[in-house]
């Protein structure tokens, strides 16, 4: 029984890894379960053992990959920081650096940003993507709140506006670079981009 459970878990992970590759390469609407099965070197039956259909596979992939790989990694970095401003800078840097440094994360973000066509978005898929954005905003808000409390950020701008500005800035960097990676050496200047933005929010003494 234990062997069968371990095999089922391993097969499920194999399917999810293959699905990320195929979805990122072909886009959501053009991908079939046959494509995923071929990439994973498994039968369609192996996919149906864990997933009801293509949408179920996609939703599970997006939710689990975000929560375990992206969200978890960012939280782990932030929780190690003691200084609120350093934590904010580190979070912003890590948010974009992960896309540069990790090919799998880059494929995931390309899938979310450019390979999931709007016309194919069901309410369930849209809800998962919206939850991702909300989680990021909540984490940024916590960091901003700590910085405001410590007195390092300007006090004339509401927390909600600072949070939205940071989130929009990070998404803008990510989307611009993903759309055309060769246009700018982001890895070289990412820290500078983060510092320029954060410095503009500092309380002037």
Number of domains in the chain: 1
pTM exceeds 0.85, yes or no: no
Is residue 13 in a domain?
Answer: no
Structural contact between residues 44 and 94, judged by C-beta atoms closer than 8 angstroms? no
pLDDT at 118: 59
Q: How far apart are CA 24 and CA 188, in angstroms?
A: 26
Residue 121 lies in a domain: yes
Burial classification of residue 43, based on how many CB atoms lie within 10 Å of its CB (0-12 exposed, 13-18 middle, 19 or more buried): exposed
Does residue 79 form part of some domain?
yes
pLDDT digits 0-9 by tens, 166-187: 999 999 999 999 988 888 899 9
Pairwise CA distance, residues 123 & 119, whole Å:
11
Question: How many other β-carbons are positioned within 10 Å of the β-carbon of residue 115?
Answer: 19
The helix-helix angle for 54-65 and 103-114 (nearest 10°) equals 130
Structural domain harbouring 106? 55-199
Render pLDDT for 73-82 as a digit per residue (tens, 0 to 9).
Answer: 666 556 666 7
* CATH number of the domain where residue 118 is located: 1.10.357.10
pLDDT tens for 8-43 read 788 999 999 999 999 999 988 899 999 999 999 999
Inside any domain, residue 159: yes
Q: Is residue 132 domain-resident?
A: yes
- The contacts of residue 27 (CB under 8 Å, 6+ apart) are 115, 116, 117
CB distance 17 to 40 below 8 Å: yes
Report the mean per-residue pLDDT for the chain.
88
Q: By the 8 A CB rule, do 45 and 23 touch? A: no
**SS3 at position 168:** helix
Assigned domain for 24 exists:
no
**Within the chain, how many helices (H) and strands (E) appear?**
10, 0
* Residue 177 domain-assigned (yes or no): yes
In this structure, is residue 68 part of a structural domain?
yes
- Cα–Cα distance, 110 to 98 (Å, whole number): 13
Say whether 3 sits in a helix, a strand or coil.
helix
């Amino acid at each position: 029984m234990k062997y069968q459970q371990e095999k089922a878990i391993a097969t499920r992970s194999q399917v999810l890894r293959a699905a990320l590759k195929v979805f990122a390469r072909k886009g959501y609407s053009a991908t079939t379960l046959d494509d995923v099965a071929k990439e994973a070197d498994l039968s369609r039956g192996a996919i149906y053992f864990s997933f009801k259909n293509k949408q179920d596979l996609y939703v599970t992939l997006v939710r689990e990959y975000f929560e375990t790989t992206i969200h978890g990694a960012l939280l782990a970095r932030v929780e190690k920081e003691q200084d609120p401003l350093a934590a904010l800078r580190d979070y912003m840097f890590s948010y974009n650096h992960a896309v540069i440094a990790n090919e799998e994360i880059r494929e995931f973000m390309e899938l979310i940003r450019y390979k999931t066509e709007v016309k194919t978005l069901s309410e369930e898929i849209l809800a998962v993507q919206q939850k991702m954005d909300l989680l990021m905003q909540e984490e940024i808000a916590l960091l901003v709140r700590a910085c405001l409390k410590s007195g390092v950020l300007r006090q004339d701008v509401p927390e909600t506006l600072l949070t939205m500005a940071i989130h929009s800035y990070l998404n803008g960097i990510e989307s611009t670079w993903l759309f055309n990676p060769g246009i700018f050496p982001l890895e070289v200047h990412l820290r500078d981009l983060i510092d320029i933005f954060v410095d503009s929010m500092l309380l002037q003494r």
